[in-house]
Chain A
Amino acid sequence: MMKLVTLALLLSTFSSTNGINVAESAGQFFSSGHTNNWAVLACTSRFWFNYRHVANTLSVYRSVKRLGIPDSHIVLMLADDMACNHRNPKPATVFSHKSLELNVYGDDVEVDYRGYEVTVENFLRVLTGRLPPSTPRSKRLLSDDRSNILIYLTGHGGNGFLKFQDFEEITNVDLGDAFEQMWQKRRYNELLFIIDTCQGASMYEKFYSPNIIALASSQVGEDSLSHQPDLSIGVHLADRYTFYLLEFLEDIHPTSKANMNDLFKICPKSQCVSTTGYRTDLFLRDPGSALITDFFGNVRKVELSRETINLTQPIILVEDNSESGEQQKEWQSYVDQLPVSEIIHQKPKQKDWHPPDGFILGLWTLILLVFFKTYGMKHLKHIF
């Protein structure tokens, strides 16, 4: 009898502790608070000699897709078409490694913003969501307050700006304000911002919204260097920072527990030549608790609820009361897009009738002729 009691007691304590452990691990599992992942990957430079920027962006795109984020949740912006550039000795391919093994362009790449569509305005509109109603879903960042967003920018930059397309720039102030708009509109839960340009650290100096981690490939005053010169294609295939970032991401799989602190350590000065930088003061959690897959992967979170929702009220059909003649239906019609009648002024009709102009001239000529016929030609000299 006593044995049964102790056994039951042990069993109950065991199960309760187990339950507590489950709760704890469950608690750990839901600590990040995000339910979906988005990625905005932008390459801002065009021309053949900037092949490596497109290759950088496409390789990050590949990694992000491999780790689970679907195309519908990736906004890929490429400023130029390298695969089909006339100078590409290997058409329809983009490589980011000297070995030319992996074609990061592939068959299933979906570029959302291409060529001249990659502008500062479009980039900021994507981030803030202020797009015209006609924009298709693939070009929108439809994030909510539980989305973790990865933003990756590459191109040519300077102290406080990033060059888009060779004719405009985005400043760090613009970027900071855009992120603040996103925060106020509850468009992100947490943001990871990676930039691989010269003097990249200047771009995250002006952020002031919470929950942002920023990484840059070089400090102010330093240049980010390129890597992987290829002698058959004739260009550099990747930048150093992105190359080592991708090497690091090779080891990440969807269930990997690597965290942000590991990401901060990639590309030391011996490999990158420039000093990488990062900023975590705006991030409310400890960066060590943020997993790589929180941003790069698409780990789906499931919310368990122990509540039951009672659907007690039956569904009532709403009756169609169009027979009642009281409610007059308003006939809907489209607003005139171009109110022609307001724009083009009609010529006002002449109020009174004037004789035609030529008639008056002819009349005067007749009078003059009659005058001279009567009085002779010698009077002509008085006029002329």
Chain B
Amino acid sequence: MGLLSDPTRRKSIVRVLTRLNAPICLLCYMVGMACFMGLAFEPFILRTYMSENAMGSTMVEERFQAGERAIATAREFGVEKEEAGGMPVNWLVKAMRDRGLEVYTQTFSHTLPFPDENKERFMVKGTNVYGILRAPRAPRAEALILTAQCGLEDDNNQAVGLLLVLAQYFRSQVYWAKDIIFLVNEHDLIGIQAWLEGYHHTNISGMNWSPIQGRAGSLQAALSLELSSNVVTSLDIVLEGLNGQLPNLDLMNLFYAFCHKFDVLCTIQGKLQRNDWESLSGYTHAVQTMMLMMVKQASGHPWGDHGLFLRYNVEAATIKGINSYRQYKSSVNSVGRLLEAMYRKLNNLLERLHQAYFFYLLPSLSHFVPISYYMTAFGLIAISLPLRALDLWVELSVSPATEDGVANVEQSSPLVLSVLTPLVISHLTGVALYTLPVRFQEMAVEHFPVSETEAVVLTVIAVYTAGMALPHNTHRFVSGEGTEQGWRVLKLVTMLYLAVLLGCTALLNFSLGFILALTLVPVAASITPHMPKFPTALVMVVLSPACTLLFSVFAFYELQEMPMGFQDCWLQFLSVISQGILDHTLYGSMVFPLLTLMVYPCWLVLWNILFWK
């Protein structure tokens, strides 16, 4: 007989699991943590390599020479920008048309739900300008895109200058098999969102935009350029996109291959590459890079203009030029040649990038952790939840047998009610946390001397803390008392719910799922009403989603080697909350709804269990 269908064997397995449940759970958690820390140890993981055949062995000599002209164009653009007091639409249209592109514009306008204090905007109105370089001989079925945002004041001028000069250079070549779109967007992410929605005929954000007149076929790959200086010391590649989505690893491999060729220093997460992987400092450097990537991915925020393209299955990355205090500088010409090389390789693509991994972590540019490695670590941490659930199930199936059947039947309906009530109330609190802040900001502004943004954030914190007071008050309304069985059933349901929730989250946004699992799994697995109330409550609050967020913000600044004091951290935490809500309304980021509608209710139910009477 099989292992699970043989009753004696099954009983023995179940006995082992129930007796050794706590040690097994603890062991799994520890091993999971160890696996995770081992992920950054470079001899254990894979080197990056180019997976796409079409981009592989071809080698071209780049002939781009117009770096100086790019700087001059950038200066001109800066002057025009100052004169126009924003985006110099007419000048850009004329500049692109003179370079032989088909030029179109798109206007858009949007009112944010509350003012964005980081970027200081509330009612946004702007224009995107884009030019299409038609492939001389190819059918207009596929396109590549290069974007540079029109920044405020002197920001990003060199990027726009380089974009225009590249457009002119590309126009004189005959070997393009795809159309190339050169896009200059206003108001960074909002402009890109408007353009993408117009191009793909969707409307997720509810923005008003004028229809896109000129199309170039389906987008295959996109690069976004951020360059604000005439010389660069290094080029940084940013991969994290909306909802933690990452582009295909081949795009990063392409970038890395050309960094070597053009002798430009390349970084990821702003950290330099090291060669000593086996040493301790090399290892800590890799861990820091990987943790930084995880924190960025978990936030669900698009960390560059490329972040919004990924949703439309367009592989995209942002290349940032960084000018720091190093000796060796690379000119804009080298950046231009690197872009030319990348576009020539992307030109050779026959289908979308799909050969390399879509899910990975990067401890450095030369090594990566594929999904198969990191999911093992997550699985080990999350396995405690189903194990605990199994233990509770066994306990529950054993205990009613001791009582007589009559009492059983009587208890079942109040049991269901006493289990359902905390669940429903917690989810309603979650819904309140999701809807109230934005909806009632006006009322809050009337009654309190705060700005709209502050009102929203403070409402969030208020509702969150109010939810924590629930268990002490709900017992006044729910008749009858909860039983020993009651909290067990509730905990069983919550375990399974949390396991499914964390599993699904980890599939879509691994870092978010992992960070939540790290803090929630110990809480969920070990909570019972019989523990000492006050210390456990304190631990629970420290491991609650809000505090996890606070610690993540703190870790983010630590890892970037810009440590902040508690006061600054707290202010950043508040701005992160407001950014999260804005990301959700503007671009459809799922982190805020997930945390408020699912994770927070889960945690609240566990809090209820702690205060179970």
Interface set of A (CB-CB < 8 Å, partner B): 47-49, 84-89, 91, 226, 229, 231-232, 234-236
| Chain A residues whose CB sits within 8 angstroms of the CB of B59 once the complex forms | 229, 231, 234
**Which of A47, A88, A91, A236 contacts B350, CB < 8 Å?**
A47
Q: Which of B113-144 contact A (CB under 8 A)?
A: 135-138
Q: Judging by beta carbons under 8 Å apart, are A91 and B137 in contact?
A: yes
The verdict on A236 contacting B57 (CB below 8 Å), with A49-B348, A86-B137, A87-B348 known, is yes
A49 touches B137 (CB 8 A): no
From B58, B135, B136, B176, A234 is in contact (CB under 8 Å) with B58
Which chain A residues border B135 with CB–CB below 8 Å? 86
B347 and A231 form a contact (CB under 8 A)? no
Q: Across the interface, which residues of A come within 8 angstroms of B60, CB to CB?
A: 231-232, 234
**Residues of the B chain whose Cβ atoms lie less than 8 Å from the Cβ of A236:** 57
Instruction: Give 25 CB contacts A-B under 8 Å.
Output: A47-B53, A47-B350, A48-B58, A48-B348, A49-B54, A49-B56, A49-B57, A49-B348, A85-B177, A86-B138, A86-B177, A87-B175, A87-B177, A87-B347, A89-B175, A91-B137, A229-B59, A231-B61, A232-B60, A234-B59, A234-B60, A234-B348, A235-B57, A235-B58, A236-B57
Q: Is B301 an interface residue, CB under 8 A from the partner?
A: no
CB pair B175–A88 under 8 Å, yes or no, is: yes
Q: Within residues 51 to 89 of chain B, which ones have a CB less than 8 A from any CB in chain A?
A: 53-54, 56-61
Contact of B175 among A86, A226, A229, A231 (CB under 8 A): A86
In the complex, A229 Cα to B59 Cα: how many Å?
8
Residue in B closest to A84 when the chains form the complex, CB atoms: B137
Distance of A267 Cα from B59 Cα, bound (Å) = 25
Please name the residue on chain B nearest to A85 by beta carbon. B177
CB distance from A4 to the nearest CB of B (A): 82
Report how far A88 CA is from B138 CA in the complex, Å.
11
B1 part of interface (Cβ distance < 8 Å): no
Q: Is B344 an interface residue (CB 8 A)?
A: yes
User: In the bound complex, do residue B344 and residue A234 qualify as a contact, i.e. CB atoms below 8 Å apart?
Assistant: yes
Q: Is B173 an interface residue (CB 8 A)?
A: yes
Which residue of A has the minimal Cβ distance to B59?
Answer: A229
Among residues of A, the one whose C-beta sits closest to the C-beta of B138 is A86
B174 close to chain A: CB less than 8 A? yes
Q: Which residues of B contact A235 (CB under 8 A)?
A: 57-58
* Nearest opposing residue in chain B for A50, CB measure: B53
Q: In the assembled complex, which residues on chain A have CB atoms less than 8 Å from the CB atom of B175?
A: 86-89
Determine the chain B residues whose CB is within 8 A of the CB of A85 once the complex forms.
Answer: 177
Cβ A47 vs Cβ B54 within 8 A: yes
B137 CB contacts on chain A under 8 angstroms: 84, 86, 91
Docked Cα-Cα span, A88 to B135, in Å, equals: 12
CB-based closest 3 A-B pairs: A86-B177, A231-B61, A234-B60
Chain A residue nearest to B55 (CB atoms) is A49
**Minimum CB–CB distance for B323 against chain A, Å:** 31
Name the distance in Å between B348's Cβ and chain A's nearest Cβ: 6
A84 to B138, CA, bound (A): 10
**A168-B303 Cα distance, complex, nearest whole Å:** 44
Among A48, A226, A229, A232, chain B packs the most CB atoms within 10 A around the CB of: A48
Apart from A231-B59, A236-B57, list 15 A-B contacts with CB within 8 A.
A49-B56, A49-B58, A86-B137, A86-B138, A86-B175, A86-B177, A88-B175, A89-B175, A226-B57, A231-B60, A232-B60, A234-B59, A234-B60, A235-B57, A235-B58
Which of A86, A88, A229, A232 counts the most B-chain CB atoms under 10 A from its CB? Answer: A86
Q: How far is it, in angstroms, between the C-alpha of A136 and the C-alpha of B281 when the chains are bound?
A: 73
Find chain B residues with CB under 8 A from A91 CB. Answer: 137, 174
CA distance A346 to B53 in the complex (A): 57
Instruction: With CB as the reference atom, state the residue of chain A lying closest to B56.
Output: A49
Q: Write out the residue numbers on chain B whose beta carbons fall within 8 Å of the beta carbon of A47.
A: 53-54, 350
B173/A89 in contact, CB under 8 A:
yes
Docked complex Cα distance between A362 and B60 (Å): 85
User: Which residues of B sit under 8 angstroms from A87, Cβ to Cβ?
Assistant: 175, 177, 347-348
Nearest B residue to A235 by beta-carbon distance?
B58
User: With A and B bound together, what is the CA distance between A85 and B347 in angstroms?
Assistant: 12
Tell me the nearest residue of chain A to B53, going by C-beta. A49
Residues of B with C-beta under 8 A to A88: 175
Beta-carbon nearest neighbor of B54 in chain A: A49
Residue of B53, B135, B175 with most partner-chain A CB within 10 A: B175
Looking at the assembled complex, report how far the CB atom of B590 sits from the nearest CB atom of chain A, in whole angstroms.
38
Chain A nearest CB from B554 CB (Å) reads: 49
- Which chain B positions have C-beta within 8 A of A84? 137
The docked-state distance in angstroms from the alpha carbon of A47 to that of B58 is 12
- Cα(A84)–Cα(B344), bound, Å: 17
**In the complex, A243 Cα to B229 Cα: how many Å?**
48
Find chain B residues with CB under 8 A from A49 CB: 53-54, 56-58, 348
Minimum CB–CB distance from B184 to chain A (whole Å) comes to 27
Q: Which residues of A contact B138 (CB under 8 A)?
A: 86
Complex formed: what's the CA distance from A141 to B448 in Å? 93
Q: Please state if A48 and B174 are interface contacts (CB–CB under 8 Å).
A: no
Q: How far is the CB of A90 from chain B (nearest CB, A)?
A: 8
A226 to B58, CA, bound (A): 12
Closest Cβ of chain B to A62, distance in Å, is 25
Interface residues of B in 8-62 (CB under 8 A from A): 53-54, 56-61
Contacting pair B54 A89 (CB below 8 A): no
Distance of A235 Cα from B58 Cα, bound (Å): 5
CB distance from B173 to the nearest CB of A (A): 7
Q: How far is the CB of A204 from chain B (nearest CB, A)?
A: 27
- What distance in Å separates the Cβ of A356 from its nearest Cβ neighbour in chain B? 52
**What distance in Å separates the Cβ of A355 from its nearest Cβ neighbour in chain B?**
57
CB under 8 Å from chain A, chain B span 321-346 = 344
Question: A114 to chain B: closest CB distance in Å?
Answer: 18
Taking the closest CB of chain A, its distance from the CB of B331, in whole angstroms, is 22
The distance in angstroms between the C-alpha atoms of A91 and B135, with both chains bound, is: 14
Q: Once the chains are docked, how many angstroms separate the CA of A89 from the CA of B54?
A: 17
| Chain A hits for B344, CB < 8 A | 234
Chain B min CB distance to A302 (Å) = 50
What residues of A have a CB within 8 angstroms of the CB of B176 in the complex? 86
B54 is contacted by which of A48, A86, A231 (Cβ under 8 Å)? A48
B61 near A232 with CB under 8 A, answer: yes
Q: Which residues of B contact A232 (CB under 8 A)?
A: 60-61
User: What is the distance, in angstroms, from B83's C-beta to the closest C-beta of chain A?
Assistant: 40
